[in-house]
Amino acid sequence: MPGRRAALSGALSAAVASAFALTVPSVFAQGADPAAGWPSQPIRFVVPASGGGGTDVIIRLVGKYLSEALNQPVLVENRAGAGGVIGAQYATTQKPDGYTFLAIPSAFGVRAAIDRNLPFDAIKDFVGVGQMARSPSFMVVSPSLGFKTLKDLIAYAKAQPKGIVYGSAGVGSTAHLHAAAVAQLAGFKSEHVAYKGTPEAVNDAMAGRILYAFAPGPNAIPLARDGKLQILASSSAAGARFMPGVPSLAQAGVAGYEGEDWFGVVAPAGTPLAIRQRLAKEMARILALPDVRERLATLGAEPVSSGPVEFETFVREYIQRTRKLADEIGMKPEG
C-alpha cells in the first residue's frame, strides 16, 4: 500500500505540474503588452467622406509616413454618404484589434450633436487615438458672381424673395453648421443642399449652382489661389494666417459665430489603450516633421497632437458645445 500511495501521489503531482505548465503561459500572455507585436499586418483608416476632402488629404499624408515608421502598409478606405454616418457605422462593426481606425473631421461631432437617432453612439462606440490638425473654414463663392465682400452677398441674398441655396458636405457637417449660422445671423432665407462630400459642394459653388459653401483649407485655398474660387470670409480669425487679407466672419459683418474644423482619429470601442497610445505617439512625431508642417500650411491647416484620453475629452466637450449652438440657430438633422 505505501508503494501504491507513493505512485498515486507521484502521478497526481505530475498531472498538476503538467496542467500548470499549460496554463501559466496563457496567463502571462493575457498580461502581455498588446502593442508589443503591433502591427503585424496592414493598418486601415476608414474615412467617412469622399476622396479629396480635408480628412482624406490629411490622413493620406500622415499615413504615408506611418507606413514607413511601422513597416506595414497603411490603407485608406473611403466610405462616404449620409453626412459621414455610413462610414462611422461601418467602423463600429470592425474588430477592436488595432488594425481598423476611423479618421474623423469635426463633422463627426456636429452630426452627433444634432442627431439623436444615429445608428451608433459617438461617445460609447468609439475610443480616442489623437487629433491631427485644425483648420479655419472658408466661405467660398464663384468668382463669376462678382461679390467683393460678404456684405455684397448678404445684400443679394436678402433681395431674393424665395431665398437662396447654399451647400455643404452633408447634413450635420461642420460646413453645414458654418453656413446655417451665417444665414441665421445675417437674416436671409435659405435652403440647404447636402452633398456627398466637400469636393462636390465646392464644385457646385465654383460653378455658381449654389450661392455659397464652406470648405476647409485643403479644399478652398488651392482653388482660390488658382482663381477658380473666391473666398469671402473665414470661420475664424485664424484664416488670415493662411490667406492674408481674408476677414473673419465677424470682421466681414456677421458677428456672433466663430469656429474651426478639426481632424483626428478614433477606434472601435475595445481597441487596446497601449496600441492607441503607440499610434498617437507616432502620429505626433510625424506631425512635427518640417515637411509635414509645411504641407499642412499650404493647405490652410496646422498640426495638433493629443493623446487618446485627451482627444476623447475634446470630442465629448465639442459635441456638448455644438449641441447648444445648433439649438440656438435651429439646425436640424434633416437639413
15 in any annotated domain: no
Q: Which pLDDT belongs to residue 14?
A: 45
Q: Is the pLDDT of residue 335 over 60?
A: no
Q: Which pLDDT belongs to residue 31?
A: 55
Residue range 207-225: mean pLDDT, rounded: 94
Enter the C-alpha cell of residue 5: 500511495
320 in any annotated domain: yes
Q: Are 246 and 290 part of one and the same domain?
A: no
| Listed residues 209, 227, 252: the one ending a domain | 252
Q: Which pLDDT belongs to residue 20?
A: 37
Q: Which pLDDT belongs to residue 19?
A: 41
Residue range 267-291: mean pLDDT, rounded: 98
Phi and psi at residue 229, to the nearest 5°: -135, 155
Give the span between the Cα atoms of 121 and 319, in whole angstroms: 12
Give the span between the Cα atoms of 261 and 213, in whole angstroms: 14
Q: Are 248 and 266 part of one and the same domain?
A: no
28 in any annotated domain: no
Query: How many domains are there within the chain?
Result: 2
In sequence order, the 6+-apart residues with CB closer than 8 A to the CB of 40 are 72
Q: Are 210 and 291 part of one and the same domain?
A: no
| Listed residues 194, 228, 252: the one ending a domain | 252
With bands split at pLDDT 50, 70 and 90, how would you rate the model's confidence at 115? very high
125 in any annotated domain: yes
Q: Which pLDDT belongs to residue 224?
A: 95
Q: Are 64 and 126 part of one and the same domain?
A: yes
- List the CATH number of the domain containing 76: 3.40.190.150
Give the span between the Cα atoms of 9 and 180, in whole angstroms: 81
Tens digits of residue pLDDT in 44-72: 999 998 898 889 999 999 999 999 999 99
27 in any annotated domain: no
Helix ranges restricted to H, 165-307: 174-186, 198-207, 217-225, 239-242, 249-252, 273-287, 290-298
Q: Are 107 and 177 part of one and the same domain?
A: no
pTM given for the model: 0.80
Enter the C-alpha cell of residue 225: 489661389
Q: Is the pLDDT of residue 255 over 80?
A: yes
Domain extent for 147: 136-252
With bands split at pLDDT 50, 70 and 90, how would you rate the model's confidence at 15? very low
Residue range 235-249: mean pLDDT, rounded: 91
